[in-house]
């Protein structure tokens, strides 16, 4: 509540009293403790009458002093508001509450954004991990980050900061998936190198160069593949790395096959065809691995859209309900004030209050209509965002193989 204009000169004098009065006559640096003024001057009391407030805190009746102490308690975020006011007044301009609150909201929302992103990053687990584990952690951490942001943010009317949060989480998740793939590749390559060390030792010792060596080589290599598949926590690139490993050993296997004097030419041809069939089967497993990963990413994106819209709708509903309660409380206070005016015979003032009451009732009606409109906007935004995301996914996802290609692959396996 702004002070009446006729009080401004007096208030100005009180605020600048320390520049005109000194407590002591001695020379010094010109600065004195403000607490010394309380020895000579009475306490300054300024009473404010506000019809929209009730003497209640958390549903309990309180005294005027208790209410004032609560109203003057330190609150997070108001330091920037005070600095903005002081800076504006100091420059000789008229402070604007709306501009100051908007600036404070921007700073607070920026802080809420950073806090939510930090919470998301801290919640993601170790790497490498299976895609299902990463996806589950992503869903939980994203939901928690959105709730944390919603609790702290305010006046994010165009959802600017919420959109930035969603995009930042999406980017962070993409980077995490890339790191997970890299960690999986490194882990699988190291594992295969360890498991195949014995095979490489026997190969260099010429164990497979004697008759029957190819059969022994295949048995040992199959054991490497079996042990590799049994090992847990290989991550999302296990089949792809295994395919690359087997492809790199193709010439090695052919060399062992060619020097095996025990096998006939027909048996060697059959072994070559069997090796090609195994490679095709491994390629099929890699394609299936990638398909499942693509499906999971699409599910993650859809879940993110749903969670984002759910949080936004809840936030808007909460803010609308809070605003409506404030208006309803103001309406009840005005009705009581109007009744008191009529009882005291101030009909003209009661009539003026009637116009304010009518405006408040209209505001309540408009707020209910606005709630419905906001809900419709939320669903419309959700649909547009989802369609846009699905469109990008269609562009990034490679087309499925044609029937002729599928038939050709099937024929080869058979």
CB atoms under 10 Å from CB of 325, counted, come to: 10
Separation between Cα atoms, residue 119 and residue 327, nearest integer Å: 36
Residue 245 and residue 192 in contact, taking contact as beta carbons nearer than 8 Å: yes
* Cα 409 from chain centre: 43
Q: Name beta bridge partners: 56.
A: 61
Instruction: Give the model's pLDDT for residue 94.
Output: 57
Q: What is the pLDDT of residues 315-347, one digit of tens each?
A: 878 877 877 888 888 888 888 888 888 888 888
Whole-model pTM?
0.60
Q: What is the pLDDT of residues 9-23, one digit of tens each?
A: 444 544 555 555 554
CB atoms under 10 Å from CB of 250, counted, come to: 12
C-alpha closest to that of 283 among 249, 244, 228: 244
Q: Name beta bridge partners: 61.
A: 56
Residue 327 and residue 319 in contact, taking contact as beta carbons nearer than 8 Å: no
Separation between Cα atoms, residue 256 and residue 210, nearest integer Å: 9
Domain ranges of the chain: 5-83, 84-176
| Tokens standing for residue 219 | 């048995």
| Tokens standing for residue 105 | 């909201």
- Judged by DSSP in three states, 142 sits in helix
Give the side-chain half-sphere CA count within 13 A for 80: 14
Task: List, in sequence order, every beta strand (DSSP E) within 249-340.
Answer: none
Q: Is the peptide bond before 99 cis (omega within 30 degrees of 0)?
A: no
Instruction: Give the model's pLDDT for residue 188.
Output: 95
The parts of the chain modelled with pLDDT lower than 50 are 1-11, 13-14, 23, 25, 385-386, 389-390, 392-393, 396-414
Residue 279 and residue 247 in contact, taking contact as beta carbons nearer than 8 Å: yes
CA angle 304, 305, 311 (to 5 degrees): 90
Q: Name beta bridge partners: 2.
A: none
- Judged by DSSP in three states, 56 sits in strand
Instruction: Give the model's pLDDT for residue 409.
Output: 38
Cα dist from 314 to 68, 311, 325, 364, 381, whole Å: 32, 5, 16, 19, 15
């Amino acid at each position: 509540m702004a002070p009446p204009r006729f009080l401004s000169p007096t208030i100005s004098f009180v605020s600048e009293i320390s520049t005109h009065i000194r407590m002591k006559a001695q020379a010094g640096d010109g600065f004195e403790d403000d607490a010394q003024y309380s020895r000579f001057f009475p306490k300054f009391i300024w009473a404010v009458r506000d019809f929209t407030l009730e003497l209640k805190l958390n549903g309990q009746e309180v005294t005027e002093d208790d209410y004032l102490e609560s109203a003057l308690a330190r609150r997070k975020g108001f330091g920037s508001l005070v600095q903005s006011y002081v800076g504006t007044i100091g420059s000789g301009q008229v402070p604007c509450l709306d501009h100051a609150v908007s600036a404070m909201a921007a700073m607070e929302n920026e802080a809420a954004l950073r806090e939510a992103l930090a919470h998301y990053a801290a919640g993601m687990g170790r790497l490498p991990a299976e895609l299902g584990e990463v996806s589950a952690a992503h869903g939980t951490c994203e939901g928690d980050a959105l709730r944390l942001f919603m609790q702290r943010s305010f006046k994010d009317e165009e959802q600017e900061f919420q959109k930035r949060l969603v995009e930042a989480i999406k980017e962070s998740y993409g980077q995490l998936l890339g790191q997970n793939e890299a960690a999986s590749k490194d882990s699988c390559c190291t594992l295969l190198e360890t498991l195949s060390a014995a095979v490489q030792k026997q190969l260099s010792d010429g164990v497979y160069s004697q008759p029957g060596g190819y059969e022994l080589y295949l048995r040992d290599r199959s054991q490497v593949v079996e042990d590799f598949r049994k090992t847990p926590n290989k991550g999302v690139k296990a089949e792809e790395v295994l395919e690359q490993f087997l492809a790199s050993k193709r010439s090695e296997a052919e060399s062992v096959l060619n020097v095996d004097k025990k096998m006939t030419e027909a048996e060697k041809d059959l072994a070559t065809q069997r090796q090609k069939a195994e490679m095709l089967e491994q390629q099929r497993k890699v394609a299936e691995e990638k398909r499942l990963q693509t499906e999971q990413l699409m599910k993650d994106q859809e879940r993110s859209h749903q969670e984002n819209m759910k949080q936004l709708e809840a936030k808007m509903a909460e803010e609308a309900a809070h605003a409506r309660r404030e208006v309803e409380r103001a309406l009840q206070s005005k009705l009581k004030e109007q009744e008191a005016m009529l009882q005291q015979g101030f009909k003209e003032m009661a009539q003026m209050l009637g116009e304010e009451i009518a405006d408040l009732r209209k505001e309540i009606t408009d707020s209910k209509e606005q709630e419905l409109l906001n809900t419709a906007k939320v669903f419309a935004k959700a649909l547009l965002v989802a369609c846009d995301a699905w469109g990008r996914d269609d562009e990034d996802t490679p087309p499925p193989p044609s029937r002729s290609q599928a038939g050709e692959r099937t024929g080869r396996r058979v």
